[in-house]
Amino acid sequence: MSHLPPSPNPYSRATLLQQLAATPDWDLIVIGGGATGLGVALDGLSRGYRTLLLEQADFAKGTSSRSTKLVHGGVRYLAQGDVGLVREALHERGLLLQNAPHLCQNQAFIIPNYNWWGGPFYTFGLKLYDLLAGRLSLGASTHLGRAETLHQLPTLRPDGLRGGVLYHDGQFDDARLAVNLAQTVIDHGGTALNYCAVQGLLKDAAGRLAGVRATDLETGRAYELRAKAVVNATGIFVDEVRRLDEPGAGPLVQPSQGVHLVLERSFLPGDAALMIPKTEDGRVLFAVPWLGRVLLGTTDTPVPTASLEPRPQEAEIDFLLRTAAQYLAQPPTRADVRSVFVGLRPLAASANGTAKTKEVSRRHKIVASASGLITITGGKWTTYRRMGQDAIDHAIARGLLPAAPSRTAHLPIHGAGGADAVPPTNHQAHYGSDCAGLQRLITEIPALAERLAPPLEFQQAEVVWAARHELARTVEDVLARRVRLLFLDAAAAGRAAPVVAALLARELGHDAAWQARQVAEFGALAEGYRLPV
């Protein structure tokens, strides 16, 4: 009996680079591997286009791994009267929970009331929220008495508490969704590459956009890649790409940063999340259970420039701790913060710079240049799929791509088939249908069952799996965006780095010098996620 040679691993970098070299002409090239770019690429693939996605760093390295981990309609957008945005986001919330049940789940939120009018006011508003969700509702909002509110939120400050209002929204793991979306792109025949930077645009004799110049940052090899349509989905960096096309282009986005503090679970031990409806700056604030920790956030602070590694301002940290102290019986201190991370929102730039960030619309915006570069910006994770659909519809309307219907509304995301593979309390539930492969790996190599940073439950097998199947290339890729350890406990992530580097070196063929550089670079990075006490 003849034996066929084993098929190549579709997620290996060698396989993906081979596809890049073998395919100079594409229907669609997407620049940017965050939520928006991944949504655009998957929508294009669902319509049958030959699709390539290029990301200069790692998937979700920027804003898309630094969210508040909510799949939501936006209660405060309802208060601002933007009913259309809320309705669209609630619809997309329902689709995402159906398409990625291993990563997204129903989360109960409670708004505590310390004023006599709070209960009726918020109950009415949230009933409208439920109504807008329609058949994709996650559960009815209800008014809670004082005793039930304290039962559900036992660490809430009891003085003056009158009751609360419970409502439902979605929660998810943002970076792991991005990784699974990149895998889904590959599963459907597309090519998605991280560490491949677009550094120039190709134009034909008439000045029409014809493709991109890109460089593999690992080898330095340059590529000229042609496409019928090019979409700029680079989030806070969209203006940099636009200026490759039009050097004098004015700004489309103004970065605004949101800071999150990660605390021990003891600060919010129940299953419900806390929503503070109005802070001193007029925003809402959340304290949300997430992967065995509590996520406290966020802020909304304009910053002058975009950065891949933004840092919190002292005033933002003080604001979060001060606001939490007003609602929690045991106020958290700087010493209680296990990690701090910052995301930058690509808000629409105002003409005169006077608009308050909390008043800037979170709707996405699509513009096309004279040469045909399509840029999409704004929006949020919840509406990533709709943003992708709208961007491709725009390309079709401009005659850049042949008409074809979007098929992403009910397209399962990689891992979705195994949502019940392990109990939801096990962190490996986030692997969905990949759980079986991960367990086989541990059976084959029992030493991989060892934990990376006890007592946290992440295992060495997850590093090997990330290298083989999840496109991870560096220690940071693994500890920040595959197992989330950097975001949960920066000190523990630093302790795990040498083991991760050794495992990656073995998988990716690197030497001891590479390991040492990786450990040093990650150690310096992790310091930025720790709060000096």
- Summarised one tens digit per residue, pLDDT across range 65-95 is 999 999 998 877 777 777 888 899 999 999 9
In a domain, 98, yes or no: no
Q: How far apart, in whole angstroms, are the C-alpha atoms of residue 211 and residue 76? A: 40
Q: How far apart, in whole angstroms, are the C-alpha atoms of residue 78 and residue 87? A: 9
* Beta-strand relationship, 273-276 and 104-113: parallel
If you average pLDDT over residues 403-425, what whole number do you get? 86
In a domain, 33, yes or no: yes
If you average pLDDT over residues 350-372, what whole number do you get? 70
The answer on 444 and 390 residing in a single domain is no
In a domain, 521, yes or no: yes
The answer on 515 and 459 residing in a single domain is yes
The answer on 273 and 261 residing in a single domain is yes
* CATH number of the domain where residue 323 is located: 3.30.9.10
Of residues 504 and 352, more confidently modeled? 504
| Short-list 411, 365, 360, 371, CA closest to 390 | 365
If you average pLDDT over residues 122-149, what whole number do you get? 91
**Mean pLDDT score of the chain, rounded to an integer?**
93
Residues with Cβ within 8 Å of residue 165, at least 6 apart in sequence: 110, 111, 113, 118, 119, 122, 123, 126, 141, 142, 143, 144
The answer on 260 and 143 residing in a single domain is yes
Lowest pLDDT segment from 184-193, 339-348, 349-358, 492-501: 349-358
The answer on 133 and 156 residing in a single domain is yes
Q: Does residue 37 contact residue 233 with C-beta atoms inside 8 Å?
A: yes
The answer on 372 and 341 residing in a single domain is no
The answer on 246 and 109 residing in a single domain is no
Angle in degrees, CA 463, 469, 472, rounded to 5: 55
If you average pLDDT over residues 480-505, what whole number do you get? 98
In a domain, 95, yes or no: no
The answer on 521 and 470 residing in a single domain is yes
CA of residue 447 relative to chain centroid, distance: 31
Residue-range definition of the domain harbouring residue 377: 13-63+176-251+358-397
Is pLDDT of 291 > 60?
A: yes
Is pLDDT of 272 > 90?
A: yes
The 3-state secondary structure of 456-481 reads CCCEHHHHHHHHHHCCCCCHHHHHHH
Q: Does residue 210 contact residue 220 with C-beta atoms inside 8 Å?
A: no
In a domain, 68, yes or no: no
The answer on 427 and 384 residing in a single domain is no
The answer on 216 and 190 residing in a single domain is yes
In a domain, 139, yes or no: yes
Assign 2 a pLDDT band (cuts: 50, 70, 90): very low
Neighbours of 101 (CB within 10 A): 19
User: What is the pLDDT at residue 50?
Assistant: 98
Q: How far apart, in whole angstroms, are the C-alpha atoms of residue 455 and residue 459? A: 11
The answer on 275 and 188 residing in a single domain is no
The answer on 166 and 115 residing in a single domain is yes
In a domain, 429, yes or no: yes
* CATH number of the domain where residue 234 is located: 3.50.50.60
Inter-helix orientation angle 35-46/384-397, to 10°: 60
CA of residue 78 relative to chain centroid, distance: 23
Q: Is the pTM of this model over 0.85?
A: yes
- Summarised one tens digit per residue, pLDDT across range 17-31 is 999 999 999 999 999
Q: Using alpha carbons, list the distances in angstroms from residue 191 to 17, 51, 109.
A: 9, 7, 39
Looking at the structure of the chain, the number of domains it has is 3
In a domain, 268, yes or no: yes
* CATH number of the domain where residue 434 is located: 1.10.8.870
Which structure tokens are listed for 27?
Answer: 């229907």
**C-alpha Rg value of the chain to the nearest Å:** 23
Is pLDDT of 1 > 50?
A: no
